Structure 1
C-alpha cells in the first residue's frame, strides 16, 4: 500500500515556480525556433485566422500579378509592332515619292518622212485612248496640229528638216496598231498586240524609233512598294506574346482581358486592332483593269501617298491607345505589388515573434530557473535541519 509524500509549503511553491518557468522556457524556445508567436489557432484564434486571411489574399493577388505582367508584355509587343510598322510605312512613302519624282517620257524622231494619207491614228497617253483622223491632203503641220489636239498637249512636232515627225512627251505613249505608227513615219514595233491597258485596249510593240523611260523604273518601285505591304502584314501577325496579338485582328472578340483583383470586379479590356496592310487601307499596286497601274500615273501615286499618311495617323492613334492602356496596367501592377507587401506585413505583425524580445526572455528564464533551483535547495535545507535534531 502506497502512501503519499508530504512536501513542505515552501518546497511545493518552488516546484510550481520551476514548472511555470519550464513551460515559459519551452514557449520561448519554440518562438525562437519557428519565428512565430502564433503558429496555430490554439495560440490566438483571432490573430491566426486574420493572418491566414491576409496571406490568402496576398497569394491570390500574387497569382494575378503574373497575369498582369503578361498583359504588360502583350501591350509592349503591340507597341513594338506599331513602331516597326511605322518604319515600313516611312519606307513605303519614300518609295512612292521616288516613283513620283521619276519622270516618264517618250521621245524619238520618225525614221521616214511624213507622207499624207487617209488614215486613223490611234494611240494611248498614259493608258488613255486617243485618236485622230488624217486626210490625204494633210500636210505635216496640219497633221501635227490634229495629233496635239487629240493628245491634249503639245507633244508632236517636226524635225529641223521639216519632213519628219518628232514625238517628245512627258508620258508613256503607245500606239494601238502598226498602221498608226507607219502613218506618222515611225518604224513598226511588231505585228503582235497585247491588251496592255485592259481588255480591248490593245497595243503593238513600241517602235524602234522611240525611247520610253521611267515606266519600267516606276514598275519596279511599285513592286518594291507591294513587297513592303507584305512585310507590314507579316510583321503585324508576328507581334504576339504568349499567343496574344493585338494588332493583327480588329474583331470584337480579339481583346486582352486583365483582372486586377481576385473577384475580377476590377479589370481592363484592351481591344485589338487590325494594323495589317489591308487594315490600314493600303492596297497593292497592280496593272489594274484599266492597265494604268504600276505607278504609271502621278495621280495614282499621290493617292497612294495620301493613303500612307492616313495609315500613319491610324498607327499614331493606336499607339496612343495602347500607351494609355499600358500606363494603366503598369500602375495597377505597382499597386498590386505594394498591396501584397502590405498584406504580408500585416499578417507577419499578427503572427511573427519579436526575436529580440524572445531572446531576452530566454536569458531571463534561464536566470529565473537557476534561482528557482537555488530556492528549492534552501527549502529542502530546512527539512534537513529537523533531521539533525532527530539524530
Structure 2
C-alpha cells in the first residue's frame, strides 16, 4: 500500500510520527539495557566502536603474553625445586665425606698357613717384612718404622697382633696402626685417615726351613669402611642426576641447559638454564687409590686427600647451585614485574573500551520509563485526532 493511498489529517500525521520515534527510542533503550552497552555496532557510533575494538584487541594480545609468562614462572619454580632438592642431596653426600674422613682406611687380612718369605706390607709409613723360619707355629716379622728403626717380633700368631700394636705405640705413632688376630688370621688396619696399605706381589712360603715353595701364597683381602661410604656417595650422585633430569616443565628443563624465551609487550627475556648433572658440577667420587694389594684396585676413598678433594668439590657444587639459583630468581623477578604490569595494562585498556561503549543503566532505565509514558501519551493523542475525523459520520446519521 502506497503512502498516498490513505490520507491522514495533519494532526494524526504528526501524532503518528511522534509515536514512531518513541517506539524507535524505546527499542534502542531496551537493547542498551539488555547488552549493557550504548555502542553495539559501528552504526551506533563508528568512532567509539572502532576505538574500543582497538583497545580490546591490544588487551587480548597482552593477555596471551601473560599466559606465556605464567607458564615460564612454573618452569622456573620447577627448576628451583630441583635445585633445592639437589642441594639437600649434596649436603647428605658431604656428610658421608666427613664420616669417611673419620673412618678407618683399608685393612689387609692374611692367613698364616706357612712361613712366608720376602713379603713386605707398608701401612701408614710402617713396613712389615716376613723372613724364613722353621716350620712351626711361630712366625717372625721384621718391623721397620718410617724413621728406619727396626723392631723384631717373634711370637706365635695369637700374640703377634698385640706385639704389632705395642710396637706402634712404642714408636710414638699410636693410633696409626691396628692389628687384630682371629685364629690364624691377622688383620692390619691403617687407622690414620690419610694412609693407604700396600704390599709386594706374590709371596712364597718356606717349609721346614727349606727352599721357598712358590705354590704357597698369602691369602690377602682388602676391605675399607671408607669404601662403604664411597658407594653410598655414588648412589647419591645417581639420584642427583635423576633429579636434574626430572626438573622440567612442559618440555623445558632449565637444569638440562635448556633456554626459555619469555615474551611480553614490547620485548622479551631469555632465561638460560644450566647443567645440574654430577659430571657437569664435578662432584663425582674420586677414582680408586692405586694399591698393589690383591683385590684393592677398586677401593674408593682409600686416602683422606681423595675424600677432602671430593668434599671440596661438593662445596663448589653448592656454590654453583646458589649462583644459578640467583640468576633464575632474577629472571623470575623480571617476569613477575611484567605480569603485574600486564595485568594493570589489561585493566586500563578494558576500562577505556567500556568508557567508550558501556551504557549507564540508571540513565537508560529512566529513559525507558519516560519513553513508555510518551508512548502512552502519543497513543492517546492519536486517538483524539481520529475522533475529529469520526465526527463527519454524524452528518450521515
TM-score with structure 2 setting the length: 0.75
Q: Does 1:256 align with 2:278?
A: no
Counterparts of 1:319 and 1:154 in 2: how far apart (Å)?
A: 57
Q: Does the aligned pair in 1 maintain the 2:204–2:215 contact within 8 Å?
A: no
**3-state SS in 1 of match to 2:260:** strand
Following superposition, the deviation at residue 6 of structure 1 comes to 4.3
Q: Does the aligned pair in 2 maintain the 1:155–1:167 contact within 8 Å?
A: no
**3-state SS in 1 of match to 2:44:** coil
Which residue number corresponds to residue 197 of structure 1? Answer: none
Q: Does 1:320 align with 2:326?
A: yes
For the structure 1 residues 155 and 217, does the alpha-carbon distance in structure 2 shift closer, same or farther, using more than 3 Å as the test? farther
Q: Does the aligned pair in 2 maintain the 1:37–1:352 contact within 8 Å?
A: yes
Which residue number corresponds to residue 309 of structure 2? Answer: 303
Q: Does the aligned pair in 1 maintain the 2:26–2:368 contact within 8 Å?
A: yes
The answer to which of 353-362 and 290-299 deviates more is 290-299
Following superposition, the deviation at residue 32 of structure 1 comes to 2.2
Q: Does 1:334 align with 2:348?
A: no
Following superposition, the deviation at residue 129 of structure 1 comes to 11
Q: Does 1:230 align with 2:246?
A: no
Which residue number corresponds to residue 185 of structure 1? Answer: none
Q: For structure 2, which runs of at least 5 residues remain unmatched after alignment?
A: 134-139, 166-176, 178-189, 207-211, 292-296
Mapping of residues 192-211 of structure 1, within 5 Å: 205-206=219-220
Mapping of residues 103-122 of structure 1, within 5 Å: 103-104=104-105, 122=120
Counterparts of 1:192 and 1:280 in 2: how far apart (Å)?
A: 48
Which residue number corresponds to residue 248 of structure 2? Answer: 240
Q: Does the aligned pair in 1 maintain the 2:72–2:262 contact within 8 Å?
A: yes
User: How many residues are paired up?
Assistant: 351
C-alpha distance after superposition, 1:242-298 (max 9, x if no partner): 01000123xxxx31100012xxx4111000111111111112343256648511101
Mapping of residues 1-40 of structure 1, within 5 Å: 5-40=6-41
Which residue number corresponds to residue 270 of structure 2? Answer: 269
Q: RMSD of the TM alignment (CA)? A: 4.1
For the structure 1 residues 16 and 176, does the alpha-carbon distance in structure 2 shift closer, same or farther, using more than 3 Å as the test? same
The answer to which of 364-373 and 324-333 deviates more is 324-333
Following superposition, the deviation at residue 124 of structure 1 comes to 3.9
Counterparts of 1:192 and 1:268 in 2: how far apart (Å)?
A: 74
Q: Does the aligned pair in 1 maintain the 2:69–2:335 contact within 8 Å?
A: yes
Following superposition, the deviation at residue 108 of structure 1 comes to 9.6
Counterparts of 2:142 and 2:41 in 1: how far apart (Å)?
A: 111
Following superposition, the deviation at residue 173 of structure 1 comes to 3.2
Following superposition, the deviation at residue 49 of structure 1 comes to 0.8
For the structure 1 residues 62 and 225, does the alpha-carbon distance in structure 2 shift closer, same or farther, using more than 3 Å as the test? same
Within the candidate set 191, 211, 217, 2:225 is matched to 217
